[in-house]
């Protein structure tokens, strides 16, 4: 999945946006989207100087890579023309000649740039380079939606890989809850860290790979949305306790996407406290509202922006009286090999104002949460891929609180 597999769609979007061309730039790996978009990094060498790739909207114009003369062989590829520079002046000369008629004056140039730093996932090009492009006469615009079309839309292989990962992740979650229930039923002890390590081992035994470690959070720790248990600080999981598990993994295959879910349980045997059930119901209805809004937009023939979905969910939680306790975005992009993807839209009008379109075949989590510090937190997370009729959900959905001991 790269620019080359979606070239016609990328060019069509550039034409619709009035973009002359897309200029990618990387310097010592500061823009990983460069290699992802081109479908390869340096070949037969390493890059220590600035490297640019020009992807023109005009289908009759060939793609160009600009590399330093001593590193140009690392970027040799039949899919593009390699042009070289030797010093700062010749670099400016090569860049200025990219546009129609050999000039960038007046050209609309898309780059990994976000006005005001609004989308840090996209904002990879340094301010000085943006200044240089403007000095050359270019009007720099964001490449945010070009990135989505080029590298964020899943194909059928990735959907299948996600299905497999989601099933195995769900198995790990079920086994973890079963372990806690078995230990408590037998009168034994167990803590957050042991359950976390059980999940890590379960992933390994099923050839799943991950980054970071799962969240296993009991009681007040569940109100910390990025809590990680440590061996020396983990709390015991006892009877009549609230338990949240957030876990994510992918198949051990290059380019495969993550499955990322969060589930909650009451250990029992006493009934679930009324306030916990009340908060659970608010979070569940907020999660479902996101899917309803996405479906409604699709049926109306409208492509929503990511912030719109978060705003609807956030307003719903605020109306229920829990607005200050929803402290993160509604959902993040799921990218190939990235649990928190950079190239695709997030459902976010809180941490950012994500104006990227929720395009077909782009994947994301839906995971509203309410966190009552010092008491408990509830988050319900599923994974979805946008389709022509709305969001298609690809992970099991929690519609009621799991009770471990009854």
- Walk along the chain (406 residues) and give the pLDDT tens digit of each residue: 799 999 999 999 999 999 999 999 999 989 999 999 999 866 656 889 999 999 999 999 999 999 999 999 999 999 999 999 999 999 999 999 999 999 999 999 999 999 999 999 999 999 999 999 999 999 999 999 999 999 999 999 999 999 999 999 999 999 999 999 999 999 999 999 999 999 999 999 999 999 999 999 999 999 999 999 999 999 999 999 999 999 999 999 998 999 999 999 999 999 999 999 999 999 999 999 999 999 999 999 999 999 999 999 999 999 999 999 999 999 999 988 889 999 999 999 999 999 999 999 999 999 999 999 999 999 999 999 999 999 999 999 999 999 999 9
pLDDT digits (tens, 9 = 90+) for 232-259: 999 999 999 999 999 999 999 998 999 9
Return the SS3 of 307.
helix
* 252 and 116 within one domain: no
**Confidence at residue 337, expressed as pLDDT on a 0 to 100 scale:** 83
Domain boundary among 152, 172, 189: 152
* 306 and 181 within one domain: yes
* 237 and 136 within one domain: no
What number of residues does the chain have? 406
Give the span between the Cα atoms of 162 and 160, in whole angstroms.
Answer: 5
* 318 and 219 within one domain: yes
**Confidence at residue 40, expressed as pLDDT on a 0 to 100 scale:** 85
Q: In 232-344, where does DSSP find H-type helix?
A: 274-299, 306-319
* 160 and 145 within one domain: no
**Confidence at residue 43, expressed as pLDDT on a 0 to 100 scale:** 65
Partners of 84 in the beta sheet? 67
Structure tokens at 313: 């969910």
* 362 and 216 within one domain: yes
Domain total of the chain: 2
Domain boundary among 152, 176, 191: 152
Report CA torsion sign: 337, 341, 344, 345: positive
**Residue range of the domain that includes 65:** 3-152
Domain boundary among 113, 130, 152: 152
CATH of the domain at 81: 3.40.350.10
Give the span between the Cα atoms of 358 and 344, in whole angstroms.
Answer: 8
**Confidence at residue 128, expressed as pLDDT on a 0 to 100 scale:** 96
CATH of the domain at 320: 3.90.230.10
How far is CA 302 from its chain centroid? Answer: 22
Q: What is the DSSP letter of 395?
A: S
* 29 and 83 within one domain: yes
* 94 and 30 within one domain: yes
* 266 and 396 within one domain: yes
* 175 and 144 within one domain: no
* 243 and 387 within one domain: yes
CA 323 → CA 166, 220, 350, 394, distances in Å? Answer: 30, 19, 11, 28
* 202 and 282 within one domain: yes
Single out the residue of 54, 81, 84 nearest to residue 72, CA to CA. Answer: 84
């Amino acid at each position: 999945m790269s620019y080359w597999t979606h070239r016609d769609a990328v060019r069509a979007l550039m034409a619709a946006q009035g973009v002359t061309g897309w200029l990618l730039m990387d310097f010592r790996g500061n823009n990983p989207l460069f290699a992802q978009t081109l479908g390869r990094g340096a070949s037969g060498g390493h890059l220590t100087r600035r490297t640019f790739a020009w992807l023109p909207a005009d289908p009759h114009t060939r793609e160009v890579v600009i590399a330093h003369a001593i590193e140009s062989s690392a970027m040799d590829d039949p899919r593009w023309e390699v042009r070289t520079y030797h010093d700062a002046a010749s670099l400016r000369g090569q860049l200025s000649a990219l546009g129609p008629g050999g000039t960038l004056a007046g050209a609309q140039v898309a780059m990994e740039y976000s006005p005001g730093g609004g989308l840090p996932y996209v904002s990879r090009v340094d301010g000085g380079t943006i200044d240089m492009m403007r000095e050359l006469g270019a009007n720099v615009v964001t490449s945010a939606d070009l990135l989505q079309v080029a590298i964020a839309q899943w194909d059928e292989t990735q959907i299948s890989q996600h299905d497999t990962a989601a099933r195995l992740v769900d198995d790990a979650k079920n086994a973890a809850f079963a372990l806690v229930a078995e230990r408590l039923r037998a009168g034994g002890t167990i803590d957050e860290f042991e359950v976390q390590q059980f999940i890590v081992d379960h992933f390994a035994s099923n050839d799943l790979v991950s980054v970071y470690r799962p969240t296993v959070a009991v009681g007040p720790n569940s109100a910390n949305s990025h809590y990680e248990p440590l061996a020396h600080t983990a709390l015991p999981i006892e009877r009549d306790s609230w338990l949240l598990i957030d876990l994510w993994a992918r198949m051990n295959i290059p380019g495969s996407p993550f499955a990322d879910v969060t589930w909650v349980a009451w250990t029992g045997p006493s009934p679930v406290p009324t306030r916990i059930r009340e908060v659970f119901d608010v979070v569940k209805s907020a999660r479902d509202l996101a899917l309803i809004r996405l479906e409604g937009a699709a049926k109306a023939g409208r492509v929503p922006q990511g912030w719109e979905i978060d705003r609807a969910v956030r307003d719903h939680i605020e109306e229920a009286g829990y607005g200050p306790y929803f402290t993160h975005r509604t959902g993040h992009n799921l990218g190939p090999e990235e649990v928190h993807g950079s190239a695709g839209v997030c459902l976010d009008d809180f941490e950012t104002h994500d104006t990227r379109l929720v395009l077909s075949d782009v994947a994301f989590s839906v995971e509203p949460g309410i966190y009552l510090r010092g008491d408990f937190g509830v988050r319900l997370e599923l994974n979805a891929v946008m389709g022509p009729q709305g969001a298609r959900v690809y992970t099991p959905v929690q519609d009621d609180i799991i009770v471990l001991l009854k």
